[in-house]
Amino acid sequence: MTEDDAGDGDGPSDASSNDAPPKYESGEPTTEDEAVSTETAEDETPTTAVDASGTPATVAVEDVTVADFYGALEAEGRPVVTAQQAARRLGLSQATASEALDALAADGPLQRVDVSTDPVVYYPSEWGRLADRERIVLFPERREIVVDQPTQYTRARLAQFAHLVDSTGDRNAGTRGYLYKIRQEDVWQAPFEDLDALLSMMRSVLPRRSPHLETWVENQWKRANQFRLYTHEDDYVVLEGASESLMGNVARQKLDEEHLVAPISDTESWVRDGKEAHIKRILYEAGYPVKDNRDLESGAPLDVELRVELRDYQRDWVDRFIDQKAGVLVGPPGAGKTVTGIGVLAAVGGETLVLVPSRELAAQWREEILRHTSLTEDQIGEYHGGEKRVRPVTIATYQTAGMDRHRSLFDDREWGLIVYDEVHHVPSRIYRRSADLQAKHRLGLSATPIREDDKEREIFTLIGPPIGTDWSKLFEAGYVQEPEVEIRYVPWADDTARNEWASADGRERHQLASMNPQKIAETRRLLRQHPESKALVFVDYLDQGEAMAEALDVPFVSGEMRHRHRERLFRQFRDGERRTLVISRVGDEGIDLPNAELAVVASGLGGSRRQGAQRAGRTMRPAGGALVYVLATRGTSEEDFAQRQMRHLAEKGVRVTESDLTT
């Protein structure tokens, strides 16, 4: 039986759908800007040797040098070539080229491989000696980047403008490769003030400049500024296009009278009240993210004094939010996003609604606001299944606030700021209604604004553009402890367990691999290796959690446990009265367990990247060691799931190692 954390009526209800395997993009984009290639055909022109009369020159075999071969590789744009390809680039007959390359291979500078039914291919012997070094290959036409053995520096910088699609191979064998793709939304959401800063970052990490790729990036950057919403002097909202053509051929073709009241000019239209979110979503899907320049409501005034000293990067986050009035704060766990959100609350100075996915988070927000501001108990209310009080600062669960019978309480109040904690939930059916409150300052918070259903783009569309910093900078400055992450491939406990798995199929087979009894023994061994570390053991199956807890003689915290009992165990863990807890998905996000030093992930549903990062994030705090072990049964689907779970951390520059316990 899988964990069901909906017992309180306030937890996320879309976890299963959001943990589906990721959908990879296929085919080439079809937008007008992408259909036109601006790269010249220089690299496609054969370099043919000719004499003064234009007749192909005769080249002796011994005259073909290693430098000539490297020139052919560069012209071909590939790491290996056939004799036919080399002949075309060198202006030789295929027979002559083949003889010359065989001679170089015999002398040692080249290697040749017979790839079965394909022709023989040649490559520099140096390639083999470089196997343990970083190599970056750019495919500008596909906007893909392949990196072998990437350094942390490279991964951290690629994360600023590209999306990690996949990682394959065996890191310990030196064959781990990373595949990145630059998508439209990666350019639109890149955390740079201007295009030059983005291009500079790209040039600092890519092996060569590509006019084709840079032109495409420039086009996408411009698309993100083709439409804007602004407030007219008569206090209604206007949609403005950068040109008459864009307004007529894009906006007015995609939108109708449900969204637009009437044209104001050739480039402007009057927006129907309350339809801003719909317009943003429709134009975003058409390839044109909308810039929001409206005068947002500040709400009823609220006098708040901030009683905590913000770090430099937190002050920068607050300043950037106040300047743009809407955005999603993206930073690693432990970076102080909640405190930064409280800083924004004080800076806006208006009544505030904080939306959270669970009652535990509501209680934590209340405690943090009381600790770090001048607000009093009677100025802060909670609204969820256990308490229903609306106050100048109200903390409500998404689920309760979205119910029709409660919704008017939140829609009608003059909030100046809406805070969406764990904002990655917003695209789901239950939570997205809260994003229709477009007239307010909107602040999203999340370490992992990623979804396995590919809807993360809606987070930035409905809430605002990303605000954040490079994770590696916070690691290097010591603000957040970079975790040491290791995937451990464990053997089956015995032949009986393995045979049961082999005879099963589908979901049952994955569950049996997840609940491999050998994981209990391995977890016990890890806890013995780190006897002084406060540890969290994560599971996704109730039966496994109960068996693990019994074997370790520690409590199992799940959604079936009463809220009061759960909170007592969490408090005991925070206070040091308990050193180990087995915990279900109820501990994946938001729960404040700041001094966990060791995380053991015994099972995870579907390889969700967000879940993997959230669980590792339980250990990411300013001080002390941070160890994360992910257990996967060797030879099963868990191998792929474990690698997928850690992909978001790898994308952010965190080192993920692997070890095989079956050998």
Rounded Cα–Cα distance for residues 476 and 473 (Å): 5
| pLDDT confidence tier of residue 427, bands split at 50, 70 and 90 | low
Cα–Cα distance measured from residue 8 to residue 400, given in angstroms and rounded to the nearest whole number: 11
Which option is the CATH number for 40-128: 1.10.10.10, 2.40.50.140, 3.40.50.150, 2.130.10.10? 1.10.10.10
Cβ neighbours of residue 233 closer than 8 Å, sequence gap 6 or more = none
| Topology alike, domains 15-22+481-660 and 312-471 | yes
Angle made by CA atoms 153, 154, 159, in degrees to the nearest 5 = 105
Alpha-carbon gap, residue 660 to 489, rounded angstroms: 5
The tally of CA atoms less than 13 A away on the side-chain side of residue 385 is 14
pLDDT digit string, tens, across residues 551-563: 999 999 887 888 7
Sheet holding 535-538, edge to edge: 556-557, 580-583, 535-538, 598-601, 627-633, 484-490, 656-660
pLDDT value at residue 454: 53
464-511 pLDDT, tens per residue? 777 876 566 666 666 666 778 888 999 998 889 889 999 988 788 888
Q: Across 342-410, where does the E strand assignment appear?
A: 352-356, 380-383, 393-397
Of 426, 422, 413, the C-alpha closest to 352 is: 413
Cα gap 543→2, rounded to integer Å: 8
The arithmetic mean of pLDDT across residues 580-598, rounded, is 71
Average predicted confidence (pLDDT) for the chain: 77
Please give the pLDDT value at position 247. 94
Residue spans per domain, the chain: 15-22+481-660, 40-128, 140-201, 225-288, 312-471
Residue 33's alpha-carbon distances to 37, 189, 251, in angstroms, are 9, 18, 17
List the Cα angle 231/234/235 in 5-degree steps: 45
Specify the fold of 312-471: Rossmann fold (3.40.50)
Task: Out of 15-29, 79-93, 335-349, give the one with best mean pLDDT.
Answer: 335-349
Of 475, 232, 191, the C-alpha closest to 332 is 475
157-173 confidence digits (pLDDT tens): 888 888 877 765 444 44
pLDDT value at residue 559: 77
Q: What is the mean pLDDT of residues 601-610?
A: 62
Sort strands 380-383 and 393-397 into parallel, antiparallel or unpaired.
Answer: parallel
pTM, two decimal places: 0.59
Domain 15-22+481-660 has CATH 3.30.479.10: no
Q: How far apart are CA 330 and CA 459, in angstroms?
A: 12
Let me know if 41 is exposed, middle or buried by CB neighbors in 10 A (0-12, 13-18, 19+): exposed
Would you say residue 620 has pLDDT above 60? Answer: no
What was the pLDDT predicted at 17?
36
Q: Which tokens belong to 99?
A: 């003889």
Residue 25 has pLDDT above 60, yes or no: no
Q: How confident is the model at residue 80 (pLDDT cuts 50, 70, 90)?
A: confident
Does residue 419 surpass a pLDDT of 60?
Answer: yes
When mean pLDDT is compared over 147-156, 356-365, 518-527, 579-588, the highest value belongs to 518-527
Kindly provide the b/e burial profile for residues 267-281, where b requires at least 16 CB atoms within 10 angstroms of the residue's own CB.
bbbbbbeebbbbbbb
